[in-house]
Chains A and B, each alone.
Chain A
Amino acid sequence: QKEVEQNSGPLSVPEGAIASLNCTYSDRGSQSFFWYRQYSGKSPELIMSIYSNGDKEDGRFTAQLNKASQYVSLLIRDSQPSDSATYLCAVNTGRRALTFGSGTRLQVQP
């Protein structure tokens, strides 16, 4: 079992819709969780961090964490074509560096 799992996609949504990206992790000791966005040919860019159960909102982005289910998600409201990218989930146990999922490719159709 991979430490951090994501559906590779592509996830295709129409412009203006909500995109829902999901991630599961295997280490129950994980303490911090991050979402990175990576455009083709570019480096990963941090967009959200979440440390406790529940929701965290930042503009059009909402991160959701459920430690009991070992599940973290990212919702993108009012999706725009500029949101088309690969979204990487990253998890940290507190003692190690970030472990990344393989990423979900999001395509927002105009």
Chain B
Amino acid sequence: DAGVIQSPRHEVTEMGQEVTLRCKPISGHNSLFWYRQTMMRGLELLIYFNNNVPIDDSGMPEDRFSAKMPNASFSTLKIQPSEPRDSAVYFCASSLGQGSTEAFFGQGTRLTVV
């Protein structure tokens, strides 16, 4: 099993530009999570999908952030326009079921907005 696959691994962009992060969950997993990790705030949930439907997006910081899951094997997290405070490591994770089951993380995307 290839695990959760994220791309790109690193992204450096200028303030105001659009950034799109991509995630392929583990095959057969029906829950997908986007987390953001910073030194100050730790690991924060941004949005959670179950069977491709957004269940909880209360962690999305503001309207500049949007996420989609058009099918069971692909999700995107988009930031438009990006700001320096969005600099963080963004992780995608997936799990077999809704809620209680074990979640497995991708390698993350390190985003730097200058």
Partner-B contacts on A (CB < 8 A): 31-32, 34, 36, 42-46, 49, 51, 88, 90, 92-103
Instruction: Please indicate which of the listed interface residues B48, B103, B107, B108 has the most CB atoms of chain A within 10 Å of its own CB.
Output: B103
Q: Is B63 an interface residue (CB 8 A)?
A: no
Subset of 21 A-B contacts with CB under 8 Å = A31-B100, A32-B100, A34-B102, A43-B105, A44-B91, A46-B102, A49-B102, A92-B99, A95-B99, A97-B33, A97-B45, A97-B48, A97-B56, A97-B99, A98-B103, A100-B35, A100-B43, A101-B42, A102-B42, A103-B42, A103-B43
Chain B residues with CB under 8 Å of A51's CB are 100
Chain A residues with CB under 8 Å of B102's CB are 34, 46, 49
What is the interface of chain B mostly: helix, strand, loop, or mixed? strand
Residue count of chain B within 8 Å CB distance of chain A:
20
Partner-A contacts on B (CB < 8 A): 31, 33, 35, 42-43, 45, 48, 56, 91, 98-108
